[in-house]
Chain A
């Protein structure tokens, strides 16, 4: 299946000389949730803005659903809904009017039933006649999402969608995003909340200093780069690690009462050997627990590594 978004050798140098994107190539598959992670100023918003037509690329090409964003920009943009990072809304408009405006702007005839569905999905129906200026920040965020969904896009860009919203609203949004994905919408989200990407994404891309440093299936990424730790509570304290255990990646915690075994997800087979060697060395334990690195740990390691 051809990618729904295909970015090839994309670069952006702003008039100030700032090189925001450096020769980026990236394919987004149809129907996936793709999380684009990166520190502030990495180039996430510039990348999204180029695909959506807000910023002009310095070099490279982008195709959306097979359409070149330059030559066939109308067809390309029709497929896209964008929820920007900033809460930029028409303060004096009502929720209903601004959502209908967005639908018209994208070339579709009025469809009150669809607008009602979108507003109900986002718990905005009761606020449909309210002016946007009277809404809370979280509600304004929902309005931006409603506007982006008003023209039934096949691709949805969510630029920091849950920045500054409360936990309940975040979970509401996650539910909505999953529902949209289940309906066949491709979602590209940037977020500072790595747990959000961990929770939602099918694939993860990491961008740093205008370069994509990694694109990977999330589960594969966690498997490849994730680390696990097994901590054993010993029956009797050890003064030092016995030489018989030197072959294992073990560390003795201060006090000698805990042994910590660190392994990657591929090294799970070594556990059996470790337990056998512990038995042979006469080292008993009365409790154990395991922990696993999060996507956040992996992200921090990746960004530090390439710094």
Chain B
């Protein structure tokens, strides 16, 4: 195992994060604060609690998951797409690095950044609402599992994209709607039966539900199903990445 290479790739990607610290850290803090102003203070003050949890606190897991998904995908997809775009990918392809080591470096860094931002959001949220985390280990487990899975997914997008437009296509047109409709700001039990049934086809529902269970001890779907769905998506992404490295798709002529 070429751990020096994994470390080099990881540090290189993290350096990019710290170079743009203002955008990386301040932006999610401001966005979260705005969500709390709008949903917590303005709308939330007129809403009763959801499943016994004050609305302001109820949306925290959803907000964290929203950022976790978008940040994981954005960081990982940009991380691998940019060297392809700039041509610097030659160095990685000609280095004694295995596909696993490349994935560990890029996905590890993307997941770390996304987790860091999610934790910043959690810290910001505590300034606005009282929070309790009933199952902190499950919370951390879900955080890591989701960040790794969606960083892998972002990595796939970064390999598939042949332009900046495609790089934005899936996050904007697929992930953001799925996240908003996945129960970030509501419980799917609040929906009419038809919409609830339809929502169960949205994989993000299981992630948010499981994450919320870790916070408050109850969820829209059982924690076991949530975990199984998250693991299934992880396996799918791993299969995709393995196939790409085996075939050299978009990487090698």
Contacts and interface: CB of A to CB of B under 8 A. Distances in A.
A80 B94 contact: yes
A78 interface: yes
Contacts of B95: 77, 105-106
Given A56-B253, A74-B98, A105 B92 contact: yes
A86 B91 CA distance: 12
Given A56-B252, A104-B4, A105-B5, A73 B96 contact: yes
Contacts of B88: 88-90
A233 interface: no
A52 B94 contact: yes
A15 B7 contact: no
Contact of A77 (B8, B90, B96, B253): B96
B139 interface: no
B96 A84 contact: no
Contacts of B9: 105
A108 interface: yes
Contact of B94 (A54, A75, A89, A103): A54
Contact of A106 (B7, B96, B248): B96
Nearest to B1: A107
A147 interface: yes
Nearest to A48: B94
Interface in B182-197: none
A104 B15 contact: no
A193 interface: no
Interface in A76-110: 76-78, 80, 82, 84, 86, 88-93, 97, 100-109
Contacts of A108: 4
B94 A77 contact: yes
Interface string B5-35: 1011101100110010000000000000000
Contact of B248 (A56, A73, A91, A100): A56
Contact of B4 (A88, A107, A147): A107
A105 B12 CA distance: 10
A53 interface: yes
Contacts of B238: none
Contact of A109 (B4, B86, B87, B248): B4
Nearest to B253: A55
Nearest to B8: A104
Nearest to B16: A92
B91 A147 contact: yes
B248 to A, nearest CB: 6
B43 to A, nearest CB: 41
Given A56-B248, A105-B5, A15 B91 contact: no
Given A105-B8, A109-B4, A88 B90 contact: yes
A55 B4 contact: no
Contacts of B15: 93, 97
Interface centre among A52, A90, A100, A108, by most B CB within 10 Å? A90
A155 to B, nearest CB: 12
Contact of B5 (A73, A84, A106): A106
Interface string A61-77: 00000000000011111
Nearest to A12: B253
B178 interface: no
B97 interface: yes
Interface in A275-305: none
B231 interface: no
Interface string A100-133: 1111111111000000000000000000000000
A92 B19 contact: yes
A102 B7 CA distance: 11
B116 interface: no
B93 A53 contact: yes
Given A77-B94, A82-B94, A147-B91, A88 B86 contact: yes
B2 interface: yes
B252 A54 contact: yes
A147 B98 CA distance: 20
Contacts of B96: 73-78, 106-107
5 contacts: A14-B253, A56-B253, A77-B96, A105-B4, A107-B97
Interface of A: 14-15, 49, 52-56, 73-78, 80, 82, 84, 86, 88-93, 97, 100-109, 147
Interface of B: 2, 4-5, 7-9, 11-12, 15-16, 19, 86-88, 90-98, 248, 252-253
Top 3 A-B pairs, shortest CB-CB distance = A104-B8, A88-B87, A74-B96
Given A88-B86, A101-B8, A105-B97, 19 more contacts: A15-B253, A49-B253, A54-B93, A55-B253, A56-B253, A76-B96, A77-B95, A84-B87, A84-B90, A86-B87, A93-B15, A101-B11, A101-B12, A105-B8, A106-B5, A106-B95, A107-B96, A107-B97, A109-B4
